[in-house]
Amino acid sequence: MTSVTNDLRRQIAPVFGPLALLERFFAAAETAADDLGILLTIEQDFDALLAFNQTQRESWYPLTPMYDPRLNRLTPENSFWISGRDSRGDIVATQCARFYDWRGTDFKAEFESLRLAYAEPATCAAPSAAQVTGPVVFSGAGWYRPDYRGKGLSSLLPRISRALALTRWDTDFTYSFIEPKLVEKGIAARYGYTNIEPGIEWLNSFRGSCAFCLLWMPRDQLLADMQVWLGGRAEADEPSLPDRQSVDTG
């Protein structure tokens, strides 16, 4: 694999959160991406993301409405996406984030009205949905080219997205959706989410009528997960010993 050298921290200006921990995390994330031969870039052009999504229909569903520039006004103040490119410059992974200021409202109300996407019917019976309130971010549109799956990107990019959203927007919660079958396969745990609840029914969605699980984590659990991930990276980087297994990050 051709090596690359990431400079992710130059693209990020930390504002909120525990800055020393975030600096350690982003430095370790750079190294993790270098090890994978993936160049990470913080992007803002959602028209380009939409166009790319449309070329990958065999391995990627249509772009989630929250990130569709035809349906939403997406600006640096409310959104970003991360591209992962190989040594040839081809996109092999993506991850998006969309910020909402839900002080005075909550996920349940916003989802059932679908003001967060567009006007279509939906129901949300996830028990904790009404707790997801205040400054929140929706992290999603994660995609990994088939030949880059199983390499640890699904453990890395969601964490970078959540950390960047935290330090940019001072978020209280991060949430996402996932299909129940992917929960059973352990994908949600790989993303690092600490709370998984069924109960989302989205009728006439961008993928037809679907059932999803709600993934969510409050700020304190996001920071705790960051510490655990950093600890795992440090242990994995230690010289291997005969009686010790290395940490699997993917």
Report which DSSP code applies to 37: T
pTM: 0.83
165 pLDDT higher than 90:
yes
Residue-wise pLDDT tens digits, 222-236:
999 999 999 987 665
Weakest mean pLDDT among 7-16, 50-59, 195-204: 195-204
Res. 110 pLDDT band, cuts 50 70 90: confident
d(CA 144, CA 56): 10
Runs of H (alpha helix) within 134-173: 153-169
Question: How many Å separate Cα 95 from the centre of its chain?
Answer: 5
Give the whole-number percent of the chain exceeding pLDDT 70: 87
60 pLDDT higher than 80:
yes
241 pLDDT higher than 50:
no
Res. 124 pLDDT band, cuts 50 70 90: low
Give kind and range of the element (H or E) at residue 202.
strand 195-205
Question: How many Å separate Cα 218 from the centre of its chain?
Answer: 14
95 three-state secondary structure = strand
Report which DSSP code applies to 45: -
Q: Give the chain's mean pLDDT.
A: 86
Confidence (pLDDT) at 245: 23
Weakest mean pLDDT among 122-126, 178-182, 206-210, 219-223: 122-126
d(CA 37, CA 53): 22
Residue-wise pLDDT tens digits, 73-98:
999 999 999 999 999 999 999 999 99
Weakest mean pLDDT among 37-41, 60-64, 123-127, 172-176: 123-127
249 pLDDT higher than 60:
no
Q: What is the 3-state secondary structure (H, E, C) of 61-72?
A: CCCCHHHCCCCC
What's the burial of 117, exposed, middle or buried (CB within 10 Å: 0-12/13-18/19+)?
buried
The mean pLDDT value for 231-247 works out to 45
85 three-state secondary structure = strand
Residue-wise pLDDT tens digits, 1-21:
557 789 889 999 899 999 999
CB 12 within 8 A of CB 26: yes
Closest CA to 167 of 20, 7, 68: 20
The number of beta carbons lying within 10 Å of the beta carbon of residue 147 is 10
Residue-wise pLDDT tens digits, 129-160:
777 888 999 999 999 999 999 999 999 999 99
